[in-house]
Structure 1
Amino acid sequence: MDLWDEGIFLLVLFLANTIQAVTGFAGTLLAMTPSILLLGPDQAKVILNIMAFLSSLFIVSSSLIYIAWRQLLRIILYMAAGMAIGVYLYQLLPLSFLLPFYGLFVLAVALKGLCTSNELRLSPAAARIILLGAGVMHGLFVSGGALLVIYAVAVFKDKHIFRATVASVWIVLNVPLMFHDYQQGFYDGQTLLLTGLSLIPLVLATYAGTRIHDKINQKIFMNLSYILLLLSGMLLLF
């Protein structure tokens, strides 16, 4: 990879993590496709996982008072159970055909949120299914964030609680992913060097995104969340 590619990657990282700092999610989703094209899948996954972990850590460290701890524990327990199921299914069946249906479901929820003024509501049973599904999709495709955001939009009506609690989830879930990458031998010298360089746009993006988050109102925040869900669904389809 030449200096031009590295520069583009660092710019992508800055833009994606600015969004991550605003909402608490979507940074990895937005950065993954161009990063894979620039770096290759293994290096992209390693660096983006680390950046997502650090970005979430920065968000949470300044937002501890806003974390909904009981909800966080519930999310982690259901998603962890779902992830175990997803990893098991991945070893048995080629389930890539599920992605288009997953994408269509996410698109439908996002369009409903953007086109109607009614708040998204989930029954207790639907909430459990959504969280388990988020874990399963994360175990299968490392892409359960869209379902988690559907749950978060329905449950958290305050932008500070939404952002802090969702970011906390990624801190917990990214640790086993990073450990797995380490076991696979993906932490080579070039990857560690580029990870160090990536800290510069990460810090700048976190600062910029936090300032934006503090200035936007609740309605704009929720609309931005639905727009990112819409983008998530489109990326899952294509």
Structure 2
Amino acid sequence: MEMLWLALAGFILLAYTLEAITGFGSIVIALSLGALLLPIEQLLPVLVPLNICMTGYLVWRHRQMIDRRLLLGMILPAMVIGTLLGYALLPWLDAALSKRLFGVLVLWFAGRELWRMRTSHVASARPLWLNRLISLAAGVSHGLFASGGPLLVFALAGTELDKARLRATLVSVWFSLNSLLTLCFALDGRLLPALPQIISYAPLLLIGVWLGEHLHQRFNEQHFRIAIYLLLLVTGGLLIAPWSLL
């Protein structure tokens, strides 16, 4: 078991290094790789509080860029409800089924992003009601897997926000929802046993950010993104493979 948690440390370092390079969500990477070795319900109380550290810093740093109307008017109401629903559903889901559902989500997201990059597809705006419905589904995904990003980015495709404002708004979403999930983990008793792992993994965030900043200046970000999505395609396939459910 100690070797499994040591391997998770490597996945966390990789995830935060890649996020510092590309801005891509660290939890999706760390959870998809970690779920190959450990149950999702054991990983979430460790990965979610760690993410608060980075997103909290980014929210404060880019607070002037947050679109509060979009955040409070469309995203958070639906996603908070969805997150609480997903959190309530997780204990009722079989561990193997949870892993398979997450694998399907990862496969869809990675495949969609690779297709979008290949075709330079530009999404059109959707009706507000449909975006709210997708945001609710993103919240359920976040409550189940702390990975609402793929669906929320899909919901926000076609918005008129520039890249900087969209990123700042999304970071504030993850900080808010992960703070909510951390509170839930504290109330249900799962946070306290995870504190030793959280404390031991915390320095990896700083190392990952430093490595990412260092590598960002030397390599093409587009190539890193392609490598990440290919990695997620393989990982998603492994998560839904029959032998991974034993």
Query: Is 2:14–2:208's contact at 8 Å kept on the other side of the alignment?
Result: yes
Question: Corresponding residue for 2:232?
Answer: 231
Kindly provide the amino acid, as one letter, of the partner of residue 154 in structure 1: G
Question: Corresponding residue for 1:60?
Answer: 59
Question: Structure 2: any 5+ residue segments left out of the alignment?
Answer: 241-246
Summarize deviations over 1:170-204 as a string: whole Å, max 9, x none.
11101221122222322346x32332221211112
Question: Corresponding residue for 2:139?
Answer: 135
- Tell me the number of residue pairs that the alignment of Structure 1 and Structure 2 aligns: 234
% same residue: 30
CA distance in 1, matches of 2:107, 2:36: 25
Matches within 5 A, 1:1-238: 1-2=1-2, 5-36=4-35, 41-73=40-72, 74-86=74-86, 102=105, 105-106=108-109, 109-125=112-128, 126-155=130-159, 158-188=162-192, 191-209=194-212, 220=222, 224=225, 228=229, 231=232, 235=236, 238=240
TM-score (norm 2): 0.72
Could you tell me how far 1:51 is from its partner in structure 2? 1.0
CA distance in 2, matches of 1:138, 1:80: 9
Kindly provide the amino acid, as one letter, of the partner of residue 150 in structure 2: A
Task: Pick which of 191-200 and 18-27 moved more.
Answer: 18-27
Kindly provide the amino acid, as one letter, of the partner of residue 16 in structure 2: N
Summarize deviations over 1:69-126 as a string: whole Å, max 9, x none.
2222221112123334545666888886866775665456324412222312231244
CA distance in 1, matches of 2:91, 2:37: 29
TM-score (norm 1): 0.74
CA distance in 2, matches of 1:19, 1:180: 28
Query: Is 2:126–2:158's contact at 8 Å kept on the other side of the alignment?
Result: no
Distance 1:67 1:81, change over 3 A: same
Q: Alignment partner of 1:154: what SS?
A: coil
Question: Corresponding residue for 2:244?
Answer: none
Question: Structure 1: any 5+ residue segments left out of the alignment?
Answer: none
CA distance in 1, matches of 2:217, 2:64: 15
Query: Is 1:83–1:137's contact at 8 Å kept on the other side of the alignment?
Result: yes
